[in-house]
Structures are given as structure tokens and as C-alpha cells.
């Protein structure tokens, strides 16, 4: 296999590996989000059971209103905590995805730099070879011309 073909195959393999890594990172982040959601639902259910028990023990309308106010504050706090953790998880997922993309771009950049360097070197070598061949052809032409001139002088003498 030619070196450029091998390099393209390596680049293709690296691209596939990066795609798989990105899919794994996406799956892991989806699992984390799902776990957070399940934990939030469990917490809400536990809080609801606790609230129902507290509400059933209320003896007056004032007790009921105080418990309702306390529950509303706890629910708001829980909702804010949930959304905060959700935003944090989303930010982490985006950072992980960007890290994968940056790694892939760095690999591609390195590959292109290496390819450019090899191409420049090959072009330089080809120019040297062509120059040497031209010098050889030119020297051969001069020798033939000198030989013809010498033959012409001998024939005239």
C-alpha cells in the first residue's frame, strides 16, 4: 500500500474511533441525566409522602396554611436544585463533547501538517532530481556538439 493511502486509512480509522468516542460520551451523559431525573423523582415522592403525613396531622386552618407555606418553600428549593444540577450536567456534557472535537481536530491538524511536510520534501527532492537530470542532458548535449565540431574540423583539415 502506498504511504498516502496508508495515511488516509489511518485518518479514516481515527475518524471512526472519534465518532465512537463521541457516541460513548453522549450515552454516558444521557445516563447521568437519567440518573439525576430518577433521583429527583424519588426525592419528590419522599417529600410528598412526608408532606401528606404532616398535612394529615394539621388540626386547624392556620396549621394547614403554615404547612402549605413550608412545603411550597421546600418544593421551590428542590426545583431550583434540580434545574441547577441539570444545567451543570449539560455544561459538563458539552465540555466533554467539545474536548472530543478538539482532540479530533488536533489529530487532523497534525496529519495535515505531516502530509504538507512530506509533500514539500518530495517536491524538493523531485526538483533536485529534475535539475540533476537537466544538467546531465545539458552536459551530454554539449559533449555531442563539441564532438561534432571536432569531426567537422578534422574533415576540413
> pLDDT tens string for the chain (157 positions)?
467 677 778 878 887 888 888 888 888 888 888 888 898 889 888 988 888 888 888 888 888 888 888 888 888 888 898 888 888 888 888 888 888 888 888 888 888 888 888 888 989 999 999 898 998 988 888 888 888 888 888 877 6
Are the beta carbons of 107 and 15 closer than 8 angstroms? no
Query: What's the confidence (pLDDT) of residue 70?
Result: 86
The predicted pLDDT at position 129 comes to 92
User: Alpha-carbon distance 96 to 142, whole Å?
Assistant: 69
Check residue 157 and give its pLDDT: 67
Task: Specify whether the CB–CB gap between 36 and 89 falls below 8 A.
Answer: yes
Angle among Cα 104, 106, 108 to the nearest 5 degrees reads 70
Measure Cα distances from 23 to 10, 13, 16, 78, 100 in Å. Answer: 20, 15, 11, 31, 10
Question: In angstroms, rounded to a whole number, what is the distance separating the alpha carbons of residues 3 and 115?
Answer: 10
Distance CA 145, CA 86 (A): 87
Length of the chain: 157
Q: For position 2, what pLDDT does the model report? A: 63
How far, in Å, CA of 74 to CA of 54, rounded?
A: 13
Q: Distance (Å, rounded) from C-alpha 82 to C-alpha 88? A: 10
Amino acid at each position: 500500500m502506498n504511504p498516502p493511502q496508508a495515511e488516509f486509512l489511518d485518518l479514516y480509522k481515527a475518524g471512526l474511533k472519534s465518532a465512537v468516542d463521541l457516541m460513548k460520551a453522549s450515552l454516558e451523559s444521557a445516563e447521568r441525566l437519567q440518573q439525576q431525573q430518577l433521583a429527583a423523582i424519588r426525592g419528590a415522592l419522599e417529600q410528598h409522602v412526608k408532606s401528606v403525613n404532616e398535612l394529615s396531622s394539621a388540626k386547624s386552618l392556620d396549621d394547614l396554611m403554615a404547612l402549605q407555606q413550608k412545603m411550597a418553600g421546600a418544593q421551590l428549593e428542590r426545583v431550583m436544585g434540580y434545574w441547577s444540577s441539570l444545567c451543570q450536567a449539560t455544561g459538563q456534557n458539552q465540555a466533554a463533547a467539545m474536548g472530543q472535537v478538539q482532540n479530533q481536530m488536533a489529530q487532523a491538524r497534525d496529519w495535515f501538517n505531516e502530509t504538507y511536510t512530506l509533500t514539500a520534501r518530495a517536491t524538493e527532492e523531485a526538483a533536485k532530481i529534475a535539475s540533476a537530470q537537466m544538467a546531465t542532458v545539458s552536459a551530454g548535449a554539449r559533449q555531442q556538439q563539441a564532438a561534432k565540431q571536432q569531426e567537422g574540423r578534422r574533415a576540413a583539415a
